[in-house]
Structure 1
Amino acid sequence: MLNLLTSALLLSTASAAAVVRKDYGHDSENSRKINVQVGVRPYYLVEDMDEGSLKRKLQSCSEGPFKVSDFVFAHRGAPLQFPEHTHESYSAARRMGAGVIECDVAFTKDKQLVCRHAQCDLHTTTNILAKPELAAKCTTPFKPASGGKPAEVKCCTSDITQAEFKSLCGKMDGANVNGTTVAAYMDGTPYFRTDLYATCGTLMTHNEYIELVDGWGLKFTPELKTPEVKMPFNGYTQEQYAQDMINAYKKHGIDPSRVWPQSFLPADIFYWIKNEPKFGKQAVYLDERVDTLEGYANATASMPELAKKGVKIVAPAFFALTKVRDGKIVPSEYAIAAKKAKIEIVAWSFERSGWLNKGGEYYYQYVSPVINNDGDMYTVLDVLVQQVGIKGIFTDWPATVTYYASCFGLK
């Protein structure tokens, strides 16, 4: 009788699993039937806006319906409140309507691909320092702050194996550089975030991320992180690293149309264009040249050359796409040049600046004279969509952009 019951239970479990796979597996339409929830933040931002037609339009959409949108690129998941690049962060992004989810791809000591924003950020994004046996393997083991000098530490994915990586917990990205103990150093979450959901974030390998996002029927934007170790790394070349990332999608049978590979290194973009053209045509060149005035001018002038080399999408920090003219926010020279060269634009990263009544810092530097409240975020987003014509935007809190995308029918 026990064997019969056990067999029945196993069959029941297998059937249930099959049903789940059917409902939530590779069926994009079923995935998009998820009850998208935007929470209270978008409403707070809309109410904080200056009076005008945009505010009235967004208020008119207060009851939804809110839908999954490929315009919404989940930047590291939902790191405004969840530990970045964790299962929990990705799940939150999905619930908030992100149609495209990001994995920043780094490699481990055994040359396996994992999701981390930087190759050497484990000391700020995980609990590695609380694990003495792994902390001892860090490139620079922890040295407490002393004599007015900040704490020193550097822990990289390439310091440990994939199995060791998976034993870590994700935490909110941050550190107290004045910490004189490991515990004090790890207690550094930025003021505009929270540790409420950071009890032990589940770290993800690149393969696990692919399986998760594919199971939801959503799309992918993996970023090949610029190595912080000398390449080749124990014989591992940059080209093999770039190829391994693409190979993972081919191995899982992912259609290239669902993947936006990214890199800050032009050589990676050109490698994909030449060697993996089906993926390369959606390769996103993350353009950090705009961070200096000289670089901004060079980047603007280079658009025709980039287009000639096959680059079809650029992605600068969104401050580079707008400026102020006659007291109004308008498209920048960079944005105009990209459009003229027929290069699409994906911007980064929304919800990453803290309070806008403090000036908005990095992401709002070109429009700070006309920024004075958090609601101005939607004013800037509206210019990016309606005037610049961006293809999508990375966001640390997808719900904020989902609200706008649903209101304006951005699919």
Structure 2
Amino acid sequence: MPRLFAPVSLMVATLIGGAASAAPVEVGPRPYFLIDQLRNPELKAKLEACADKPLEKKLFSIAHRGAPLQFPEHTLQSYRAAARMGAGIQECDVAFTADKQLVCRHAQNDLHTTTNILATDLARKCTKPFTPADGDKPASAECRTSDITLAEFKSLTGKMDAANSKATSVDAYMKGTAAWRTDLYAAAGGTLMTHAEYIQLVKSQGLKFTPELKSPAVAMPYEGWTQENYAQAMIDEYKAAGIPPEDVFPQSFNLSDVLYWIKAEPAFGRQAILLDERDETDKTFNPMDPATFKPSMKELKEMGVNYIAPSLPLLVTVENGRIAPSAYAREAKAAGLKIITWSLERSGPLQKGGGYYYKTINGIVNNDGMIYELVDVLAQQVGVEGIFSDWPATVTYYANCMNLK
């Protein structure tokens, strides 16, 4: 999309600055807040000893949608914050508009929770208009990137991903931000990004890329555009921008997408990441029972898959009252698969188990310091290549302290 490159260059120069890649890494107070709560004295002492260590960006620290713990996800402001926190890799979840242009959104059908679309005239184009709560029936809406054109998408602003299911008005529906997040940095609205703009921005930051091809909410083929056309279009934007394949880690939950890249774009496919959510989609799956892994880790490796990325809980269990690697983690390593995991700090305060992202260790999670206990097991015992986080500073601090790449 050549027409985007000039505005992108101006935007990068104006809002990021020509020296973005050389900007000092800043982790702020959160890592120290978490370390203060650590109940593992040995790990606490190690991390405290790094308090004055010079910080640098780390590939181990992967920005999940930028820094959405406090900034509107997939926005310029969120990506800029993540780069300041030392993330070595930035993520763009890739969806497409009505005119088949690629944009950064976590889902093709999340505009009603991540942007201001319902407060604009474009609300009339939404697949499902806003419906207020009525008794036990929750408020609802569904607005897709494919409902609008690229130009219309660029007219929107980002907000914190949230909705109030009890709302009886659009204004109230849009104000559902969780108490443990904040609207402090979202009041003016975040700048939405196309995939091409994201590429130029991350290139200017001197970082690497991990785009995720999102599952379409519309039936494919879409107006003659097949799933393979979609998968190829994403890779083509890196080729057009002159990005080396070794700097790109394409992702998908769809195994067929990964296999397509391995076959059609082997230079990119060798770093393609298979995202794994079988715990949510397969009732027979058990991360502690390799017999339920279909396909098996060995079979995935034989297909040419080199990277697998499960959610945090699939990689750990509890042994003798402490966090330990799961059978899933051991099987993946034995098969020669490299492991990346998601997503740290998508839970609120960890005083009572931590919810989904800690579900296999909920019984021992009772304070925020457990975040670093989990990171330490993932790094030192599981041997993950990197960790996606909603607040990259947390992982950046650990990676610097432990001299990870």
Give your verdict on TM over 0.5.
Answer: yes
Distance 2:309 2:183 in 1: 30
Equivalent positions of 1:57-76 (< 5 A) are 57-76=46-65
Aligned counterpart for 1:344 among listed residues 321, 338, 349: 338
What's the offset of the Cα at 1:22?
7.1
**Cα pair 1:170 1:203 within 8 Å, conserved:** yes
Aligned counterpart for 2:375 among listed residues 366, 374, 381: 381
Distance 2:261 2:158 in 1: 31
1:167 aligns with 2:161: no
Summarize the Cα distance change of 1:366–1:268 in structure 2 as closer, same or farther, 3 Å threshold.
same
Aligned counterpart for 2:364 among listed residues 360, 363, 370: 370
Aligned twin of 2:116: 127
1:294 aligns with 2:284: yes
Equivalent positions of 1:71-150 (< 5 A) are 71-131=60-120, 133-150=121-138
SS of residue in 2 equivalent to 1:215: helix
SS of residue in 1 equivalent to 2:262: helix
1:226 aligns with 2:215: yes
List, as ranges, runs of 4+ consecutive aligned residues in structure 1 with deviation greater than 6 Å. Answer: none
1:252 aligns with 2:246: no
Aligned twin of 2:198: 209
Moved more, 161-170 or 287-296: 287-296
Aligned residue type for 1:397: W
Equivalent positions of 1:351-366 (< 5 A) are 351-366=345-360
Distance 2:173 2:193 in 1: 24
Moved more, 366-375 or 239-248: 366-375
**Equivalent residues, number:** 386
Summarize the Cα distance change of 1:371–1:21 in structure 2 as closer, same or farther, 3 Å threshold.
closer
Aligned residue type for 2:113: T
Aligned counterpart for 2:328 among listed residues 334, 337, 347: 334
Aligned residue type for 1:87: L
What's the offset of the Cα at 1:23?
4.7
SS of residue in 2 equivalent to 1:36: coil
What's the offset of the Cα at 1:216?
1.2
What's the offset of the Cα at 1:156?
0.2
Which structure has the greater CA radius of gyration?
A: 1
Aligned twin of 2:177: 189
Distance 1:114 1:241 in 2: 12
Aligned twin of 2:5: none
Aligned twin of 2:7: none
SS of residue in 1 equivalent to 2:184: coil
Aligned twin of 1:28: none
Unaligned 5+ segments in structure 1 are: 1-13, 25-30
Percent pairwise identity: 59
TM-score (norm 2): 0.93
TM-score (norm 1): 0.92
Distance 1:117 1:64 in 2: 35
Distance 1:307 1:73 in 2: 23
Distance 1:363 1:152 in 2: 25
1:314 aligns with 2:303: no
Question: Per-residue CA shift, 1:347-403, capped at 9, x if unaligned?
Answer: 000011111112111011111222111001100110000000000010000001111
**Cα pair 2:18 2:204 within 8 Å, conserved:** no
SS of residue in 1 equivalent to 2:284: helix
What's the offset of the Cα at 1:192?
1.2
Distance 1:228 1:188 in 2: 23
Question: Per-residue CA shift, 1:133-157, capped at 9, x if unaligned?
Answer: 2000000011111132111210000
Moved more, 211-220 or 300-309: 300-309
Distance 1:203 1:22 in 2: 21
Summarize the Cα distance change of 1:168–1:301 in structure 2 as closer, same or farther, 3 Å threshold.
closer
Unaligned 5+ segments in structure 2 are: 1-9
SS of residue in 2 equivalent to 1:136: helix
User: Pairwise CA RMSD of aligned residues?
Assistant: 1.5
SS of residue in 2 equivalent to 1:323: strand
**Cα pair 2:353 2:364 within 8 Å, conserved:** no
What's the offset of the Cα at 1:300?
7.2
